[in-house]
Amino acid sequence: MVSCPYTSLPVSSADTAKPKQALTNDKAARIVVAMRQCVANYGAAGATFDHVAREAGVSRGLLHYYFGSKERLLIEVVRKETERLVETIQLAAQHAGSAEELVNVLLAQLQNILDNEPELYLLAFELIGEARRHPEIGNEVAEYNRRTRGQFAEILEGLQQKGSISLRHSPLATASALLAMANGLALEMFQDPVSDHDACVEADVDAALYMLGAERV
């Protein structure tokens, strides 16, 4: 199951932080990518502007010009990655004509992230701590997490209307449960990478199929 790895973070009443300048050029995009990689390499606390500047091949001053602070840069990383994950869910669901097909394509997308872009989950886990220290990050992450759940719920509702699935709970509750299940599976794999997780995956697949109104044949 593909998931949005930005969940269970506190929501703040603070205004949503925005970058200082429009992020429309190549250097700004490189900075965002570099920050994502630096968090994976050094952790959120250790990912300094110096590290990010070297990774992006730009001056430290340019980071301040575009983002102002490390917290605002982290928020932009969350924004970009959440948008990309929503698109991934939408594309994956387009190829599903049944509950079994939906679970299979989402599981394949999750495995692809774990195999090829594990820094997405490392970033998400790091941001849990950062959100507690910086409420504006928690506020932004929670906003995009709600958006992801909502859009996933719309996808599930559309599949149900077509007769592809038969939800046992509301689309939003099912979307939340599936995303939480995928995040938990990813966390277990990160915590214990040498163990065989096949049995856990099979149990999650059975639970997902049940929520979607089907059972494993």
CATH code for 26-211?
1.10.357.10
What local confidence, expressed as pLDDT, does residue 211 receive? 96
What local confidence, expressed as pLDDT, does residue 4 receive? 53
What local confidence, expressed as pLDDT, does residue 160 receive? 94
What local confidence, expressed as pLDDT, does residue 15 receive? 38
Q: Which residues, 6 or more positions from 200, have their beta carbon under 8 angstroms from its beta carbon? A: 185, 188
pLDDT along the chain (217 residues), means of 10: 46 41 73 89 86 94 90 84 79 83 87 81 75 79 84 92 94 95 88 90 94 84
pTM, full prediction = 0.75
CA angle, 180 then 181 then 183, to 5°? 65
What local confidence, expressed as pLDDT, does residue 17 receive? 43
Lookup: tokens for 62: 């340019």
- Distance between CA atoms of residues 148 and 6, nearest Å: 9
What local confidence, expressed as pLDDT, does residue 30 receive? 93
Lookup: tokens for 80: 């970009």
What local confidence, expressed as pLDDT, does residue 2 receive? 52
What local confidence, expressed as pLDDT, does residue 79 receive? 81
Contact (Cβ atoms closer than 8 angstroms) between residue 127 and residue 141:
yes
- Distance between CA atoms of residues 217 and 204, nearest Å: 15
What residues does each domain of the chain span?
26-211
What local confidence, expressed as pLDDT, does residue 70 receive? 87
